[in-house]
Amino acid sequence: MFWKFDLNNTSHIDQLLDREGVTLRELMEEEDVLQECKAQNRKLLLFLSKDHCMQELVTLITEEPPADLEEKTRFKFPNIACELLTSDVALINDKLGGDESLLEKLYHFLEQEPPLNPLLASFFSKTIGNLIARKTDQVISFLRKKHNFISLVLNHIDASAMMDLLLRLISCVEPALLRMEVLNWLNEERLIQRLTELMHTGRDEERQSNASQTLCDIIRLSRDQANQLSEVTEPDPLLAVLESQENVAELLKNMFEGERTEASVVNGTQGLINPKINSHAWMLAVFPPFFKSFIDLLLPLCLIAILTTVGVLEQPLGSARLHVARLVASLLQTCDLSICQEICRLNTMDLLLDLFFKYTWNNFLHLQVELCVASILNHSVHTDLQNPGLQNHEERPLFQHCRLVQRILGAWEENDKIQAEGGRRRGNMGHLTRIANTVVQNLEKGLAHSQINDLIKELPEDCRGRWESFVGETLRETNRRNTVDLVSTHNLHSSSEDDDMESPFPNDLSIQQAFSDYQIQQMTANFVDQFGFNDEEFSEHDENINAAFDRIAEINFNIDANAAAFEACCKERIQQFDDCEEEEDIWDEKEINYATQIKARSRYSTWMIYPGWTASFGETEVSSSSTWAGSPQQDGEGLQDTSWASFTEFQPFSR
């Protein structure tokens, strides 16, 4: 009776649209309105693309909803409106991107005084970003006519949505030629210089952070685009300005002018590290005036104590000092002689090593110090002939003034003492092991052998002896323990379920080995290939089938082991499982009568006794916990259950 069921496929939205006077709010109340929109519901799309509906949708995402509404429902309609406008439906995109009045209404959102509502800012950024990707020509043309567009966006840079909008302008414009036009336009608007100005110490920390992140993302996106679009030969103008000497000098100036703050140091350093590595030729002219200001930041700071998982930290390291350590590590990797000499002159490595051994649980710091030490030691091997004095300027202070070897030995001995007293291993021991290995490895490389070896020989005699003992014993043993075998054939354990079961064999290793040897003795590839049936042997003649089974008789079941001991092993029972009492125990002893089952077989036929069965062979009774097989000396015709032929071979059979 089909009339009992509602088989009408018309959605409720279609029914609403058929009703006269339906409003946009009524449609937005429906749960499936977004689904119907993305499903290209023609009726719905025609309704949404009407002028008054599009105006209302844009109003919802750009104007604050009434404050007297409940918080959980206050932004319900703005959120739905944003999803509808960015549903990537061609009809809506064409209407929104082609109607300048709608674009003006959207643009008016930027003209508000800061701060913007962060949720509405995200709706605005998402909508404009979708138009940049889908209606590129119309939207870019509109924005370029607005001479204050970049100024307004940077005025609201404290909202992360504005940072996303700038990045969409850089990464979402296609084709490549149009993208280059946009980059040139942004460069003409001095985007990079304006972002750099926001890094000044007097700026709001949120603005500084977002500006720094924007600079880093521009570098990343520009380099990615350059790698992907190999046909574009014109350099990225934004990246060129970012990595210019003038821009880096201005960034350094903004970081240290006025009252120095941790936020300005962290954000500025973050913006320096990326562009610096690939364009360090001009570093000598930019960094020296500010280098001491950076190194001074490594000195103790007045920070509030914090609670960590290993206790209260009275003097936290702080983000500023960590970022300075990152900067020093990056500078050393440039292999610039003047920069490295300046680092040594300011006693930078001594300060970093002090922090390394003081903050034993800060692995972020440990990594940077390890990179610094590795860079200094590796410079001796990879130094250009133009810089022959680089080794002396770096290694000698590291081993003499910084006392690297003595620090390694002292920290290691102190850690051993703590662990001997029941304490936990220090958190920097892994990186300390790597530093010690780097020293040892560079003793064996090229020029470093003579340079570092001479410095080791200059150590006091007791220290040199401790170092040699440490390298030959302690460090070698540590490296051995840290080496993990990917595959090991020893000490393999079965699952926990198997561990609960007792082995049916005694713990005599010789017997276990004999049984293992037996198991693999006869199961050769030749036997596996020959056992079974061939297609031509499947005929109506029984003798062909019997012949295939009779091949088992050709197997030699003898093993070279103590027969009595082996028989004792096989007589042991496999432990019974805890099955239901009503079920028959398959391991119960059964008296097997073969009198009515045995048929005449040809010479060398094989008899099988399965686990748990008992069979009598003349005066011999055999009870087996495994499968046994044997061959009679003569034909088995007329054999009775009480008069069995003697067996020449009678051994366990492994299938």
DSSP 513-525: HHHHHHHHHS--H
Q: Which of 273-282, 481-490, 571-580 has the highest mean pLDDT?
A: 481-490
318: left (phi over 0), alpha (psi -120 to 50) or beta: left
Whether residue 281 has pLDDT greater than 60: no
Whether residue 223 has pLDDT greater than 60: yes
Q: Which of 522, 506, 517 is nearest to 625 (CA)?
A: 506
Whether residue 172 has pLDDT greater than 80: yes
Q: Please enumerate in sequence order all residues whose Cβ is within 8 A of that of 585, keeping only pairs 6 or more positions apart, or say none.
A: 576, 579
Band of pLDDT at residue 602, cut at 50, 70 and 90 = very low
Band of pLDDT at residue 243, cut at 50, 70 and 90 = confident
Whole-structure pTM over 0.75, yes or no? Answer: no
Q: Would you give the distance in Å from CA 119 to the centre of its chain?
A: 31
* Average confidence (pLDDT) over 202-229: 86
Whether residue 525 has pLDDT greater than 50: no
Q: What is the pLDDT of residue 600?
A: 40
Q: What is the pLDDT of residue 86?
A: 94
Q: Please enumerate in sequence order all residues whose Cβ is within 8 A of that of 47, keeping only pairs 6 or more positions apart, or say none.
A: 17, 22, 27, 53
Query: What is the percent of the chain where pLDDT is above 90?
Result: 38
Whether residue 539 has pLDDT greater than 80: no
**Could you give the CA distance from residue 539 to residue 541 in angstroms, rounded to a whole number?**
5
* Average confidence (pLDDT) over 490-509: 50
Dihedrals phi, psi of 75, to nearest 5 degrees: -105, 20
**Could you give the CA distance from residue 48 to residue 502 in angstroms, rounded to a whole number?**
75
Whether residue 553 has pLDDT greater than 90: no
Q: What is the pLDDT of residue 334?
A: 80
Q: What is the pLDDT of residue 275?
A: 55
Is 168 in contact with 133 (CB distance < 8 Å)?
yes
For residue range 424-455, list pLDDT tens digits in order: 999 999 999 999 999 998 887 754 456 777 78
* Average confidence (pLDDT) over 379-405: 64
Whether residue 556 has pLDDT greater than 70: no
What sign for the dihedral angle of Cα 41, 43, 46, 49?
negative
Q: Which residues pair with 649 in a beta bridge?
A: 631
3-state class (DSSP) for residue 3? helix
Q: What is the pLDDT of residue 576?
A: 42
DSSP 131-192: HHHHSHHHHHHHHHH-TTHHHHHHHTTTSHHHHHHHHHHHHS--SHHHHHHHHHHHHHTTHH
Question: Crossing angle for the helix pair 90-98 and 100-107, nearest 10 degrees?
Answer: 80
Q: What is the pLDDT of residue 437?
A: 94
Question: Crossing angle for the helix pair 90-98 and 118-134, nearest 10 degrees?
Answer: 100
Q: What is the pLDDT of residue 175?
A: 85
Q: 255-259, 419-423, 469-473: which has the minimum mean pLDDT?
A: 255-259
Whether residue 631 has pLDDT greater than 70: no
Q: What is the pLDDT of residue 589?
A: 59
Q: What is the pLDDT of residue 96?
A: 94
| pLDDT top residue among 493 and 75 | 75
Band of pLDDT at residue 577, cut at 50, 70 and 90 = very low
Band of pLDDT at residue 515, cut at 50, 70 and 90 = low
**Could you give the CA distance from residue 361 to residue 573 in angstroms, rounded to a whole number?**
57
Is 635 in contact with 648 (CB distance < 8 Å)?
no
Whether residue 499 has pLDDT greater than 60: no
Whether residue 301 has pLDDT greater than 60: yes
* Average confidence (pLDDT) over 566-575: 58
* One-letter identity of residue 622: V
**Could you give the CA distance from residue 268 to residue 270 in angstroms, rounded to a whole number?**
5
Q: Which of 111, 199, 217 is nearest to 160 (CA)?
A: 217
Report the mean per-residue pLDDT for the chain: 77
**Whole-number Cα distances in Å, 286 to 272, 311, 336, 348:** 12, 41, 13, 18
3-state class (DSSP) for residue 10? coil
Q: 182-191, 373-382, 573-582: which has the minimum mean pLDDT?
A: 573-582
What sign for the dihedral angle of Cα 13, 19, 24, 25?
negative
